[in-house]
Each structure stands twice: as C-alpha cells, then as structure tokens.
Structure 1
Amino acid sequence: MAGEQRPADGRDESADERADRLWAELLQEVRIAQTGAQIMFGFLLTVVFTERFTTLHGFDRGLYVVVVTLGAVATGTLMAPVTYHRLLTGRHLKPRMVRAAARVVALGITLLALNVGAALLLLLKVAGLGAAAWLISGGVLLWFGVCWLLLPLLVRRHQDDDRH
C-alpha cells in the first residue's frame, strides 16, 4: 500500500472490508436493541387482554396507545436493516447501506428510549405515584441520554483532543 495513507482508525483494510466489518458490528448492536424492543412490544400487546386494562381511562388509556405505537414503530425501525440488506445486496452499495442503516438504527434506539420512558410513566401512574411518575420517567430518559449519547460523545471528544 505504498503511497496510500493509513486510515485514521489504524486499520489496514479496504473500503469493502471496512464496510463488511461495520455492517457486522451494526448487526450485533441491532440484535441487542431489537430483542429488547420485541420483548417489550410483545408484553405490551398482552396488557389489553388483562382485566386491569378495563380500569384505564382518559390520559392513561391514551398513554397506553402511545406506548404500544412507539413499541411497534421502534421494533419496525430496528428491523429495517434487514430489508436494506435484502434489497441492496449485490449492488455494490455496502458503504452507503451501512451509513443509511446506522442512521435508521440510531432512530430506532431513540424510539426505543421514548417507548421505555412512556411505558415506565404508564406503569408508575397506574401504580399510583402521580407526579413522581413523571419525575422518575423523566429521570430515566435523562439517564438514557447521558449513557447513550453524552458519554460516547465525551469519549469521542477526548479521542479527538488526543489526536491534536
């Protein structure tokens, strides 16, 4: 590879090899998030068939609809890379496919976080926590933001500082 510049991450791989590696890594990440989303969505679907569901009215019933809808959308969004792969395989688009699928997965994880937060709010409201349900659910969503966004961004910033 005389004359070629080594990639910033220090790996000696072609663009196709890099796309293959990133695709495999993305699929491993999706498997984790997708499993959680599917389990939660499946559980939420059963709630409507319980006797307790008939006691939900007004805001709580509407919140349940939002929670189930978010669960469905998060699950579908996290499954999208499968269709990307099926529709685009063999067309020499893997680097572009990896970037597009990564954006969709980020959206799916965001929807999953909102789904968990809304489901927690519903659960805590039904449990009778009132205003505390809002505070706890908001705190959990804030915690997700710290763990899933802020900390990785700080690591990336620290790495960028080390390079300069």
Structure 2
Amino acid sequence: MTQQGPASGTEERPCVTCGVSGTNTHPEPAESARERVNRRWNELLQETRVAQTGVQILFGFLLSVAFTPMFHDLGTFERAVYVTTVALGATATASLIAPVSIHRFLSGQRMKDEVVEAAGRLMICGMVLLALTIGCTLLLILYVVVPGPLAIALVGGVMVWFCLSWYVLPLLLRRRATRRPDDRCEHETPGTSS
C-alpha cells in the first residue's frame, strides 16, 4: 500500500533500485526507439526554425546590398568578400532548409531514423556555414567603416566567440555527459552500488 507524502502529495514507495522506502524520484523508464527518434525529430524541427529565420534574413540583406548605390564604390577586396559571403549564405540556406525537403521526399517511407540522422548532419553543416556567413558579413561591413587591420581584428574576435559558444562549449558539455557515471539511486552513497 502506498502513502501520500505529507506536503507535496507525492507517493512514497520502495525504491526499485535499492528497496529503500521513500519518494520515488528515479527517472522514468527509458524511451523506446520510436519515441526517441520522434523526440529527436521534433527537437530538430525547432532548431531548424530558429536557424532558418536567421539565415533567411541575413541572406535577404546580402542580396539587397548589390543594388545599393554604395556597392559600385567597393574595391576588389570588398567585392571578393561580398561574393564569398553571398555564396556562403546561399549554401547555409540550402543546408538549413534541406531537412524539410528530405522529410517531404521520404515521408511515409519508414526511414525516420535515416531522415533524422541526415537532417542532423545538414544542420551542423548549415550552422558552420551560417557562422562563416556572419563572419564575412561583419568583415564586409566593418572593412568599409573602420581601417582594415582593426576590422579584421574585430571580426577575428567575434569569430572566436562564435567558435567558443557554438562549438567548443557544446562539445565540452557532450564530453562531460559521456564521462558521467550511470544514474545512481539517491539512497546509495558513492561506491556502495551493487
């Protein structure tokens, strides 16, 4: 028979791991393979929406630059940076929208695992291309506004921050998660698991 906890209304029952009576705070049973792939797909869709919006706005801005009066005054270096930036923006857009196309073509083919895997890789590629697009856009703008070496130094600093926050931090957190020991029972002290 179970008892209600005094204040919180939680059930008290023996722990399934160690048998100690108390509030059951262990995680829910592991999700099935189907639930996992559906969760991963939904998370990927949310991430794609955020990234797509950013890249589309940036790409639209880049396309409009060529039609401004100031564009004709740009030198060879600035034009080369502009062309590189537009090409990077186009490839970033393609990579970040590709999961939608893949899903549409393969919908109903019972290939959701493969779709999620391919879409995840395209998202990572698209994020790298988006970071490079942003860096080149900054270089183009700052090179026109401030002297060359200062513009390059500012862009370099921004790109280091992108690398740290978009790539290094997630990889460090991922490494930490893989080193984490399996979930222990809250009633056990370290080193007493059976």
With structure 1 as the length reference, what TM-score do the two structures score?
0.90
More helix by share: 1
The CA deviation string for residues 58-101 of structure 1, in whole angstroms up to 9 with x for no partner, is 11111111111111111111000001101111111101110111
Query: What residue number does 1:61 align with?
Result: 79
What does 1:118-129 align with in structure 2 at a 5 Å threshold?
Answer: 118-129=136-147
- Is 2:58 aligned against 1:40? yes
Distance 1:131 1:94, change over 3 A: same
| In structure 2, C-alpha distance between the alignment counterparts of 1:62 and 1:10, rounded to whole Å | 55
Unmatched tracts of structure 2, length 5 or more:
1-26, 183-194
**Percent of residue pairs identical:** 49
Structure with higher Rg: it is 2
The partner residue of 2:39 within 11, 16, 21 is 21
Q: Which has the higher contact order (CA 8 A, sep 6+)?
A: 1
Q: How big is the alpha-carbon RMSD for the aligned residues of Structure 1 and Structure 2? A: 1.5
Query: What residue number does 1:4 align with?
Result: none
| In structure 2, C-alpha distance between the alignment counterparts of 1:79 and 1:156, rounded to whole Å | 26
Q: How many residue pairs end up in the alignment? A: 156
The partner residue of 2:120 within 71, 93, 102 is 102
With structure 2 as the length reference, what TM-score do the two structures score?
0.76
Query: How far 1:57 sits from its partner (Å)?
Result: 1.9
The residue type equivalent to 2:137 in the other structure is A
Query: What residue number does 2:177 align with?
Result: 159
Query: What residue number does 2:191 align with?
Result: none
Query: How far 1:134 sits from its partner (Å)?
Result: 1.0
Distance 1:11 1:85, change over 3 A: farther
Unmatched tracts of structure 1, length 5 or more:
1-8
More strand by share: 2
The residue type equivalent to 1:120 in the other structure is L
